[in-house]
Structure 1
Amino acid sequence: MCRVLLKDLFTHPIAQKYLNRSGVDHAIKVAEYAVQLAVKHGVNPDLAAKAGLLHDIGHYEWYTNGEWDYEKYKKNDIHAIKGAERAHKLLIRLGEDRQYAKEIALAILLHTDSYLPENSMKKTTLQQIVRLADEMDEEPYGKHHYRKISKEEAMIKIDRLDHKIYQLLTKYRESV
């Protein structure tokens, strides 16, 4: 089976639509942090990177009078639910292993407790990694969603991450 590359995910029109809404720079940074954490904790870095990259594709833009309304977002947000479904559909469409697609979608679903009672369930290491990677890149009032990155720089970072994951997967598969 061929591995679905981050580049395949990143350049897909569905991902582009939602990544541009939720912040490309943030998505890439979370994917990078997720890979670092995956290596540290013995988790498949490919799954961590994909969940990190796609973790916010369920975001809805909450505005009041044309201005981002952070409080409305925090009160009404269910982006992890919508994002898990979108990511799962996209991954399956691109040919991802079905079990991997499910694990990635669940990590996206559980990367935030904004709609769940705090600490209400035990999470897998992958799910904890995606949450921590997201927290590592957060800025107050959601400003991390509005950092800018050029398309060229984003593609360079995605290509580097794909290359790094390819190298890491060899080591990961040998250790499992």
Structure 2
Amino acid sequence: MRSVTLEQLFEHPITQKYVKRAGLAHAISASYHAFRLAKQKGVNPDLAVKAAFLHDMGHYTWYRNGEWDFELYKENDIHAIKGAERAHKLLIRLGEDRKIAKEIALAVLLHTDSYLPEGQLYRSQLQQIVALADEMDEEPSGNHHYRKISDSKARKKIAQLDEMIDQALVSEAYEQTSEVQ
């Protein structure tokens, strides 16, 4: 039913490099929030979870005098732009449908407005969910990016989330079939 699973995303070397660097525990936690929010709002949970999982893969660190400098990071941050590009390229490489890959990349791009000049930002429901899922897991001074999780625990949580998505999509398809009859 799905072209690309979360497990396939997780195992890819690009994900291993960029998602781990940005905070794997945060990515997984935001993914669980996105799943729950997507179910509540009737949004495709597969897209919401993938976008939440990949939302920070554009992060890089900003150091001054050998120390992480959160203010310098906030001043110069464009992680959503880099992340959207990386997410799109990765999803296409793994065989994701091009329209779905674009939707996910746009949700990654718009999960924050930190890089935009002041103004009003319109977000689709999917984009709102990813932004909210990220906010729900935030900690002061970006500490959520430094929480640790072992690879074995991460794999277990990701497999569980894949099962939840599959069940939700089957349930949704059944409900749509029942409505037609």
Under TM normalisation by the shorter chain, which class is it?
over 0.9
1:140 aligned partner, one-letter code: P
For residue 55 of structure 1, what is the aligned residue in structure 2? Answer: 55
2:53 aligned partner, one-letter code: L
Structure 1: state its 5+ residue gaps: none
Q: Are 2:113 and 2:121, in contact at CA under 8 Å, matched by a contact in 1? A: no
Shift of 1:34: 0.3
Percent identity between matched residues is 65
Shift of 1:3: 2.4
For residue 15 of structure 1, what is the aligned residue in structure 2? Answer: 15
Which structure: larger Rg?
A: 2
For residue 166 of structure 2, what is the aligned residue in structure 1? Answer: 166
Alignment: residue pair count: 176
For residue 105 of structure 1, what is the aligned residue in structure 2? Answer: 105
The answer as to 2:140 corresponding to 1:136 is no
Shift of 1:118: 4.5
For residue 92 of structure 1, what is the aligned residue in structure 2? Answer: 92
C-alpha distance in 1 between matches for 2:122 and 2:174: 28
2:143 aligned partner, one-letter code: K
Shift of 1:19: 1.1
Q: Are 2:77 and 2:114, in contact at CA under 8 Å, matched by a contact in 1? A: yes
C-alpha distance in 2 between matches for 1:2 and 1:29: 21
Deviations 1:69-124 (A, max 9, x none): 10001110000000000000000000001110000000000000001145522110
C-alpha distance in 1 between matches for 2:41 and 2:83: 25
2:147 aligned partner, one-letter code: R
For residue 80 of structure 2, what is the aligned residue in structure 1? Answer: 80
Q: Which moved more, 1:166-175 or 1:39-48?
A: 166-175
For residue 40 of structure 1, what is the aligned residue in structure 2? Answer: 40
1:5 aligned partner, one-letter code: T
Q: Are 2:26 and 2:137, in contact at CA under 8 Å, matched by a contact in 1? A: yes
C-alpha distance in 2 between matches for 1:48 and 1:33: 9
For residue 155 of structure 2, what is the aligned residue in structure 1? Answer: 155
Shift of 1:2: 4.6
Deviations 1:156-175 (A, max 9, x none): 00000000000001123345
Q: Are 1:26 and 1:147, in contact at CA under 8 Å, matched by a contact in 2? A: yes
C-alpha distance in 1 between matches for 2:174 and 2:120: 35
Partner of 2:155, secondary structure, is helix
